[in-house]
């Protein structure tokens, strides 16, 4: 027990982009509850409330030890009345009644299940719920028209709702690398998103592709996609064209936070064969690469492997899968983005995340520096010039922020 006089006062800067947030979290019970309420707000299209809960959770996550009393929170930024109520409830009663009742609510559960379908957002889910559709079975029976993304999402629902491991992300990196160098020698590919921040699992794998010679990246995405398609790696893909140059938005004032790079939302088919091809089998085994249901009794898996390596034919593979009682591949969401080298540093910073870190960077730029930051550029509204950068470090310097490496952007 700490007496009033000894109460530790934590000091945390107000913007998440001023803090070093590793994957470590000493206040998971508190932040889990706040994250759930944030998610519920986002799924209910109450963005402001969602951000408020996210910011509060990020502050608690930045603390060097568990919070034990409300007095320790004095002077901390971003903790609104609502968040403080939730925290108090947990400290006093062990759980947040609001978070618990939200988690149990039919609406939240339905929103989770329905938005768990790739291609289904909060709006669509809400419409379906109002029509009485609360689950996958009801959705299928309803005869609702699904777009191509949603059909693929439903088809691969279980796989896509299973976390992607770092080991599988590495396997996919290798495939994308092969694709990129095959279609444009000299082109470069970088792992972005959560895996660049050092996360051990994620909901997808994100890549940024560029070429050191400006302009050579033009038309690259369709070629990469064709290559992947021809090799049978894609279960689904939708490519959207770069519209940055054509945009009517003023300089540094994009109409939304959505960027305008050429990008591809895809679903990869990751096979056992590809998993075994990886150059680092030791890491692969250590990280539990295997998701095949048999826990690898050695002689057994030998047989399977030798059988499998011979099967080039899809049908034979499917047949064996059925016999073995499990399939020999999984679906994985993969995002590809192509950027010209002149915008690479901005794209890299903008796509590494976390989402809150990105949001806070833009808020810092606007509110504290009168600058506009996007995944394409940094514009100084006062001097009316674009600030060039060839590295993330330079962008932080332009913004007057201490450099925070990717592994410490896990807000």
Contact present, 272 and 294 (Cβ < 8 Å): no
Binds ligand GTP by CB under 6 A, chosen from 42, 126, 168, 206: 206
Choose one: 48-56, 265-273, 345-353, 398-406; the region binding ligand GTP (CB under 6 A): 345-353
**Phi and psi based region of residue 13 (left: phi greater than 0; alpha: psi -120 to 50; beta: remaining):** beta
Give the nearest distance from C-beta 177 to ligand GTP in angstroms: 19
- Of these partners, ligand GTP, Mn ion, none, which one is at the site of residue 353 (CB under 5 to 8 Å by kind)? ligand GTP
Please state, in angstroms and as integers, the Cα–Cα distance from residue 284 to each residue in 130, 168, 287, 311, following that order: 45, 8, 5, 22
72 lies in the site for ligand GTP, by CB under 6 A: no
340 binds ligand GTP, rule: CB under 6 A = no
User: Is 159 an interacting residue with respect to ligand GTP (CB under 6 A)?
Assistant: no
Give the number of residues in contact with ligand GTP, rule: CB under 6 A.
17
Helix (H, G, I), strand (E, B) or coil at 61: helix
Nearer to Mn ion, 179 or 205 (CB): 205
Cβ distance to ligand GTP smaller for residue 224 or 334: 334
**Beta-strand relationship, 205-210 and 188-192:** antiparallel
The SS3 of residue 165 is strand
Q: Is 259 in the site for Mn ion (CB under 5 A)?
A: no
Does the footprint of ligand GTP cover residue 354 (CB under 6 A)?
yes
Identify residues 319-348 at the interface with Mn ion (CB under 5 A): 335
Q: Which residues neighbour 74 within 8 Å (Cβ) at sequence distance 6 or greater?
A: 9
Residue 360 lies near ligand GTP (rule: CB under 6 A): no
Q: Which residues share a beta bridge with 79?
A: none
Give Cα 107 distance to the centre of its chain.
Answer: 24
* Interacting residue with ligand GTP among 126, 358, 360, 392 (CB under 6 A): 358
Phi and psi, residue 278, nearest 5°: -55, 145
Give the residue numbers annotated as catalytic, written as ranges: 204, 206, 335
**C-alpha to C-alpha distance for 386 and 400, rounded to whole angstroms:** 16
Between CA 3 and CA 117 the distance in angstroms is: 51
Of 142-150, 168-176, 191-199, 245-253, the segment contacting Mn ion by CB under 5 A is 191-199
Cis (ω within 30 of 0) for the bond into 38?
no
Stretch that binds ligand GTP, among 140-148, 306-314, 351-359, 384-392 (CB under 6 A): 351-359
202 binds ligand GTP (CB under 6 A): yes
Q: How far apart are CA 340 and CA 70, in angstroms?
A: 49
User: What is the residue-wise DSSP string for 222-259?
Assistant: HHHHHHHHHTT-EEEEEEE---TTT--SPTT--SSS--
Alpha carbon 243 to its chain's center: 23
Query: Which of 159, 204, 259, 392 forms a contact with Mn ion (CB under 5 A)?
Result: 204
In the complex with ligand GTP, the residue whose CB is nearer, 180 or 349, is 349
Is residue 193 close enough to count as binding ligand GTP by CB under 6 A?
yes
Among 26, 178, 203, 276, binds ligand GTP (CB under 6 A): 203
- Which of 53, 207, 227, 351 forms a contact with ligand GTP (CB under 6 A)? 351
Under 8 Å CB-to-CB from 182, ≥6 apart: which residues?
227
Question: Closer CB to ligand GTP, residue 165 or residue 354?
Answer: 354
Q: How far is the CB of 203 from ligand GTP (least distance, A)?
A: 4
Nearest-angstrom CA–CA distance, 45 and 345 = 31
Q: Which is nearer to ligand GTP, 69 or 162 (CB)?
A: 162
Q: Of 228-267, which residues contact ligand GTP (CB under 6 A)?
A: 258-259
Residues near ligand GTP (CB under 6 A): 193-194, 199, 202-204, 206, 258-259, 335, 350-351, 353-355, 358, 375
Residues near Mn ion (CB under 5 A): 193-194, 202, 204, 206, 335
């Amino acid at each position: 027990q700490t007496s009033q006089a000894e109460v530790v006062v934590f000091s945390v800067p107000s913007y998440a982009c001023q803090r070093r947030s590793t994957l470590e979290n000493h206040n998971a019970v508190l932040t889990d509850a706040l994250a759930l309420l944030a998610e519920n707000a986002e799924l209910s299209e109450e963005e402001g409330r969602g951000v408020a809960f996210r910011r509060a959770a990020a502050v608690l996550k930045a603390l060097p030890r568990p919070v034990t009393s409300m007095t320790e929170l004095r002077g901390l930024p971003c903790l609104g009345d609502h968040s403080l109520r939730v925290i108090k409830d947990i400290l006093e009663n062990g759980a947040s009644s609001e978070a618990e009742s939200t988690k149990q609510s039919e609406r939240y559960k339905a929103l989770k299940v329905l938005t768990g379908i790739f291609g289904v957002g909060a709006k669509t889910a809400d419409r379906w719920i109002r029509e009485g559709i609360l689950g996958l079975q009801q959705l299928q029976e309803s005869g609702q028209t699904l777009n191509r993304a949603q059909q693929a999402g439903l088809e691969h629902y279980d796989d896509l709702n299973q976390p992607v491991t770092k080991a599988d992300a590495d396997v996919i990196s290798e495939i994308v690398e092969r694709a990129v160098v095959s279609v444009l020698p000299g082109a470069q590919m970088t792992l972005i998103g959560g895996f660049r921040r050092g996360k051990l699992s994620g909901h997808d794998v994100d890549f940024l592709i560029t070429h050191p010679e400006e302009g050579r990246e033009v038309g690259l995405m369709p070629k990469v996609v064709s290559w992947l398609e021809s090799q049978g790696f894609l279960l689904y893909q939708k490519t959207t064209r770069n519209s940055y140059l054509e945009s009517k938005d003023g300089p540094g004032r994009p109409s939304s936070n959505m960027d305008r790079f050429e990008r591809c939302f895809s679903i990869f088919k990751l096979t056992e064969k590809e998993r075994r091809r990886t150059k680092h089998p030791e890491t692969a085994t250590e990280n539990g690469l295997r998701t095949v249901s048999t826990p690898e009794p050695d002689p057994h898996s030998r047989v399977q492997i030798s059988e499998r390596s011979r099967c080039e034919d899809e049908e034979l593979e499917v047949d064996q899968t059925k016999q073995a009682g499990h399939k020999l591949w999984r679906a994985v969401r993969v995002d590809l983005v192509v950027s010209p080298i002149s915008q690479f540093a901005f794209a890299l910073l903008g796509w590494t995340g976390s989402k809150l870190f990105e949001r806070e960077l833009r808020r810092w730029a606007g509110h504290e520096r009168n600058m506009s930051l996007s995944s394409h550029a940094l514009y100084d509204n006062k001097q009316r010039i674009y600030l060039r950068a060839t590295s993330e470090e330079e962008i932080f310097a332009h913004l007057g922020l201490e450099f925070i490496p990717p592994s410490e952007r896990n807000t």
